[in-house]
Structure 1
Amino acid sequence: MTSLDIRTATVDDVPAIVAMLADDPLGATRETPDDLGPYLSAFAAIDADPNNHLVVADRDGQVLGTLQLTIIPGLARTGMGRGLIEAVRIHADARGMGLGETMVRWAIERSRELGCGLVQLTTDITRTDAHRFYERVGFDRTHYGYKLSLT
């Protein structure tokens, strides 16, 4: 098996990323992979922002995973920066092989390199497998999360 490359996503990766976002029960109700227009606009904004790092895990030209790491400067905790991990997805054919852990550990290390004092994430309350995964990787369940839909 060849090595895995975690690299910055390109516009050509957007269809594969969107397909992974849509490939679960929650994503199937939220994503519209047949219309890439909104995703391409979002990609352009992410790509232009130096605090956002949209990456893919690539093996032999096949995108097998993705996540977005956002670096958030802050005043709290004596001006501590935070890494925010979002949208961790693994291609269905690559699940259970340790790729998710590899990617999350990459994001933790990248956050450290960029001067962050902590890394945080949220996961949907129904994703109980993800909860166990994040706890196994070292995250603590410390907060309640709230969302307010504006659409």
Structure 2
Amino acid sequence: MMGAISIRQAQIADLNAITSLLLQLGYNATEPQLQQYLDAPKRSDEIYLAESEGVVAGLISLIFFDYFPSQQQICRITALVVTEASRGLGVGTQLIDFAKDRASKRGCCQLEVTTSMRREKTQAYYESIGFEKTSFRYIQAIEGK
């Protein structure tokens, strides 16, 4: 059982927690790399942490973008992770509800999320809370990056 969850914007002081959460998603970012990223003035994303009694329990990052074909704005969850100790306690769902609220306030018409095709449990979770699988995403590396 955990205390009440509060959600707040990520800060430079949270680098250690952010690093370990991203590692759980398979991303090996270093604290200096993350600090440089978080300090970038023109970032187009928002990063939030779920916290309970001063302990970080999860992270969500969002981007907002214009989608030309429908002339609407969309909010995409680019990362969602809950610490192993906090899984199954509703933290992820609270973070998604928070994302829906942010998206609504920004005038978005939909919330979308991507996940690896390997993460079958994650896909089942998203479908269980009302997300619908609507497309495939193909990626190609850009030379020199």
Asked whether the two chains share a fold, i.e. TM above 0.5, the reply is: yes
Higher helix share: 1
CA distance in 2, matches of 1:98, 1:128: 19
1:12 equivalent in structure 2: 13
Matched, 1:41 2:8: no
Q: Partner of 1:96: helix, strand, or coil?
A: coil
Alignment of 1:1-150 (within 5 A): 1-23=2-24, 27=26, 30-32=27-29, 35-45=30-40, 48-49=41-42, 51-77=44-70, 79-150=71-142
Count of matched residue pairs: 142
Q: 1:61 to 1:80 in 2, by over 3 A?
A: same
The normalised TM-score by structure 1 is: 0.86
After the TM superposition, list the runs of 4 or more consecutive aligned residues in structure 1 that deviate by more than 4 angstroms: none
The normalised TM-score by structure 2 is: 0.89
| Percent of aligned pairs sharing the same letter | 24
Q: Partner of 1:73: helix, strand, or coil?
A: strand
Q: Partner of 2:4: helix, strand, or coil?
A: coil
| Structure 1 position 49, deviation (Å) | 4.3
